[in-house]
Amino acid sequence: MGFQNSTDFNPIEIILDESIKLVTITFGNDMGAISLDTFTATLESVSKRNPKKVVFDLTNTYKISDNFLVLLAFYIERFRRAGYEVELQSSNQQIEESIKNINQLLEQTKREETSNNPPLLLERIGELTFSSISSFKRALEFVGEVLLTFFRLPFTRSRAHKGHLVRSLYHVGIGGIPIVTLISMLLGLVVAFMTSIQLEQFGAQIYVASLLTIAMTKELGPLMTGIIVAGRSGSSFASEIGAMKIAEELDALSSMGLNVHRFLLVPKMLSTAISLPILSLFSQFFGILGGFIVGIFIIGLSPHAYLEQTINSLNLFDMWWGTMKCVVFGLLISGIGCYEGLRVEKGATSVGKAATSAVVKGIFFIILFDSIFAIILVYW
């Protein structure tokens, strides 16, 4: 869809692509023929459409006054602060340098004003509140889009990309087995050794097997698996999608008619939700194996007694509960990783920040939901 605000000499054309929420603003060769009011009204109309990306096309513009440059630089910075992705296309290097210099000057002026007039406490609280509400709104929109994609998946011809799903399963599942088993075995060794020192005072070292079995199946196994996968795969998802966004591959997929959520995000979320419970079982087994090694070679228990105590302590409900938690953990890890990747702006630094944020938020939400599950289990 397109519309024009124009004079006889110099039209301004706005083209809106509804499918990917892309607005392209094309300027004519001589901006002196347009009034500032018309120019401002045009850019204000773009702001009301709430796009995801705005492209300023000045490839045919050879003459532009200082007033228009300042106003254009102001709106570029305003759109960026509003969360839009902004791209400037120009064949005139002098125009680009002028806009860049104006932005730097405006930023420097703002910093000087801020340093001379430090913001009041209420102003800071307002800025943080507004920022938090905006972030929460974007997160809700992302969750809604993902849920709609999952609900529509069985009823659409174009299913999740099978090749992508298999690759993600291999990366998250099989690729994560070595590190999960190693850390879980070491964790079992440490927990068994430390608890045996305390239980030795009461002559109850045989209960090391019971304590470790219950802890690994109900809490430590799922929790450690989730933290490891968050650090390994959550950051990978954020980096991968962030790099694709910088390279404009996501826009290319959308322009080809492919649903980015169904093509990229759903396979990653499904693979993590499937792989994490299986990895949790590996974690539980090798954690118990680490305790078995300590019990036999350090504490001096008989293999038969340790295995019998372990089997008696195994509870099918505890294993099912831990597995169910891992499905939720998997969806949280992959969802947060993909969300942070989609928030990446231009620059390698932004990709690094997204990967770090994905790990930190992933671990936080894993522990938060694990606490919620523990409360539910107690009062169920």
Asked if 236 contacts 352 with a C-beta cutoff of 8 angstroms, the reply is no
What burial class does residue 15 get, using C-beta atoms within 10 Å of its C-beta: 0-12 exposed, 13-18 middle, 19+ buried?
A: middle
pLDDT tens track for 145-185: 888 888 877 766 655 566 778 888 888 889 889 999 999 99
Token pair belonging to 372: 């919620």
Quick check: 267 pLDDT over 90?
no
Q: pLDDT value at position 281?
A: 92
Give the domain ranges of the chain.
2-116, 160-379
Average the pLDDT over 334-355 and give the result. 85
Other Cβ atoms closer than 10 A to 150: 17
Q: Which residues pair with 86 in a beta bridge?
A: 54
Q: Which residues pair with 89 in a beta bridge?
A: 57
Asked if 72 contacts 99 with a C-beta cutoff of 8 angstroms, the reply is yes
Quick check: 241 pLDDT over 70?
yes
Average the pLDDT over 291-304 and give the result. 88
Mean pLDDT of the chain: 81
| Distance from C-alpha of 189 to C-alpha of 183, rounded to nearest angstrom | 10
Residue 18's pLDDT band (cuts 50, 70, 90): low
Q: pLDDT value at position 118?
A: 58
Quick check: 245 pLDDT over 60?
yes
Indicate the pTM of the whole model.
Answer: 0.66
For 63-91, b/e burial (b = at least 16 CB within 10 A) is ebeeebbebbbebbbebeeeebbbebebe
To which CATH superfamily is domain 2-116 assigned?
Answer: STAS domain (3.30.750.24)
Least confident range of 47-61, 152-166, 332-346? 152-166
**Count of residues for the chain?**
380
| Distance from C-alpha of 334 to C-alpha of 342, rounded to nearest angstrom | 12
Residue 113's pLDDT band (cuts 50, 70, 90): low
Q: pLDDT value at position 115?
A: 56
What burial class does residue 108 get, using C-beta atoms within 10 Å of its C-beta: 0-12 exposed, 13-18 middle, 19+ buried?
A: exposed
* Angle, CA of 277, 282 and 288, to the nearest 5°: 125
Q: pLDDT value at position 158?
A: 54
